[in-house]
Structure formats: structure tokens, C-alpha cells
Amino acid sequence: MTPKRWLLTILSFAAAIAASAWVVWSSWPAGHGRLTLPLAAHLVALGGALGEVTLRAFKLTWSAKALDIPLSVATAFRVCLGGDFGASVTPSRSGAEPARFLIMAEARTPLGGIVMVLWAEIVLEVLSLATIALLIALLFPGSDRAVTSVLVVIATYAMTVLALSVAGLALSRRNANGPPPAWAPRIGLNAGRWRVIQKALRQLRTSVASLRQAKRGWMFGSFMASALHVAARLCILPGLVLFVAPNTPVAPLVAWPLAMQYGAAVVPAPGGGGAVELVFKQTLGNVIPAEIFGASLVWWRFYTIYLYIIVGALIAGGTVMRSLKPKVVENAIDREASGPPSTGATSTTATAAAQTD
């Protein structure tokens, strides 16, 4: 992270806090409002957040088992929380994968195994999001507008992942060996950097082939954990609202947060830069009672982003920050380009650096 990027991150979170304050102020009822919620509501929201992280950790572990890759549950927890922290402090969540990559590398996970596990996670995430969206459509047939927005977000995400996958596979078949193509130097890819990218392309090709031979039982369990972790996160807002206002429609409380949480990944500003708060007011301003609307926004954002940042910084912040330092990235690339590394960790760090670039 350069000073300019840190400044962008600070300004973005300042904008998010300012947007939250404005939403709370503008929606405060004439009679009386509140920023506190019952203890039971907080326990449900906290349980949803803890359950979501736990299920994600098991998803990673079971995906690794399906691919015969060693990965402990404790390491998977660090990978999840470190990725959340890296995603939160970087534009468009771009720091998530390098952070996860480096944490797994420092845990001595094989290079090819890291690529395969992260690739499997992306595939399962797309499938689980589609499954949850279809379940929302079936369970809440009257929530057409919300469900349509969710499906648009999921379709955009899936198409992006598919396009990147196809492009990566195409490059891996034609450019995984040999000198850099003519267009590479024009975008700053010298011979050293291109060799790092070629190694990543070969790993991608191997990963796709390995997924076809994965153990189906463990992979199905990983898919179920992926779907359940999305569902657990979607329980947070209903848990906060329904203890105070039990007659509030459930469908918007489930569908819109799904669209906002995964749609925020396309917002360039770290943490959303206030966009999520504004969309929250626009979509749920007439759904959640005015008395607890401000409290619902503040605590929902706390349990879905700020809590992850705090815990992620405490557990894996040092590792994540190393993966985001430009000098570390450049040194890793130079070591990889100069010859075979002495340890697996150096190689994995270099590949993570290439992804960061």
C-alpha cells in the first residue's frame, strides 16, 4: 500500500461514516428514534457473523480435502479473516486474493494447492450465490424488484469470473511458455514479470484439470458450506430488525443486502465509500420502521464489514500488510525472475505479487 492508496482508503471510510451519519440524521423520526437494539438482536447478528466465517473456513478446508491439499481449519480461519481485511482496505476488494495467497503460502501450503483452492472457492461462490438467489425467488415470490437486482448482480459477477477464466485458459494454452508476446512490454511486462505470469498460467491450467478429478463428497460438502455461509450473512439484518419490528417484510431484508454486499465489490472505493449506505436508504427506507432505521444501518454495517476489519487486523493484519507493500512485491518478482527460489514461500509470494500487479 502506497501513501496515496492509504489516503484513498482513509477518505473512503470517512465518506462511508459521513454517509451513515447523514442517513441516520435524515431518517430520524419526528417523535423519537434509537441507535440501540435489544441484546437478543445483537446475539443473532453476532451469531450470523461468526457462523458465516466458520462456514467459509470449512468451505476452504473441505475444498482442500477434495483436492488432496493440506490445509488446517485454523489456517483457513486466518485466510478468511485476512482476506476480508485485505479486501476492505483496497479498491474494488483487490487485496483479498493476494492476502489469502500469502497467508496460505506462509502456512507452507504448496504453490499449486493454493491456486487450486482459491480457484475452487471462486467457482463454488458463484454457484452458491446463484442457488441462494433462486431460493429467495422461490420463497418470496412477491419480491420481484429485489430479486431481479440480486440476479443482475450475480449474473454480472458470474460473467466477469467466466470471462477472466476463459481469458486465463486461452493465455495458458498459448503463452505459458516461451518469450513475452509483442504486446507485453507495452503494458510494463518485462521478461522477469512475464516468467512469473507464465508460472501462474501453468498453475491455472493444472488447477482446472485438478477440479475435474476432485473428490465429489468433499466438494459437495464445500458447496453446502458455501451456500450456508451466504445464508448466515443474510440472517444478520433480519435478526437486527425483527426483534423490534416483527411485522417488517422479510423478503427485502434478505434480498437487498445480498445485492448490496456482493455489488459493493464493483465499487472502486475501499469499503464502498458511502455507496452502500446510500443504497441502503434508497431500497430499505420505506421497509424498516423509522424508529430503528438508523440503528439497523449502523449495526448491520458493523456486523458485515467493520467487525471483520477489526478481527482480521488483529489475527492476520501483519501478514496482509506484507502482501500489500509495493517493495515486498517488487523484491519477490525480482527473486523469482533471477532464478529458482530457495523456499516454497518465496515462490508463492512472487506469484501473489504478480496477481497484485
User: Positive or negative, the Cα torsion across 8, 12, 18, 21?
Assistant: negative
pLDDT 10s digits, 41-86: 999 999 999 999 999 999 999 999 998 888 999 999 999 998 898 8
**Coil vs helix vs strand at 287:** coil
pTM (predicted TM-score): 0.78
Mean pLDDT lowest among 106-110, 238-242, 258-262, 343-347: 343-347
**The Cα angle at residue 270 between residues 346 and 74, in degrees rounded to 5:** 45
- By residue count, the chain amounts to 357
Residue 344's pLDDT band (boundaries 50, 70, 90)?
Answer: very low
Residue 356 has pLDDT above 60, yes or no: no
pLDDT tops 50 at residue 158: yes
> Which residue has better confidence, 334 or 163?
163
> Which residues of 163-273 form beta strands (DSSP E)?
none
Banded model confidence at residue 204, pLDDT cuts 50, 70, 90: low
- Percentage of the residues of the chain whose pLDDT score is greater than 90: 34
Q: How many domains does the chain have?
A: 1
Residue range of the domain that includes 206 = 3-29+36-356
pLDDT tier for residue 216 given thresholds of 50, 70 and 90: confident
pLDDT digits (tens, 9 = 90+) for 284-331: 999 999 999 999 999 999 999 999 999 988 887 677 776 666 554 444
Q: Please give the average per-residue pLDDT across 150-172, as a whole number.
A: 66
Asked if the model's pLDDT at residue 185 lies above 70, the reply is: no
- Name the pLDDT band for 229 (thresholds 50, 70, 90): very high
pLDDT for the residue numbered 112? 72
DSSP per position, 29-63:
-SS---S---HHHHHHHHHHHHHHHHHHHHHHHHH
pLDDT of residue 59: 96
Exposed / middle / buried, residue 172 (Cβ in 10 Å: 0-12, 13-18, 19+): buried
Mean pLDDT for the chain overall = 79
With the C-alpha atoms ordered 206, 208, 210, 213, is the resulting torsion angle positive or negative?
negative
* Higher pLDDT, residue 181 or 269: 269
φ/ψ (deg, to 5) at 267: -80, 125
Which residues make Cβ contacts (< 8 Å) with residue 264, sequence separation at least 6? Answer: 93, 272, 275, 276
Which range in 69-78, 107-116, 195-204, 346-355 is most confidently predicted, on average pLDDT? 69-78
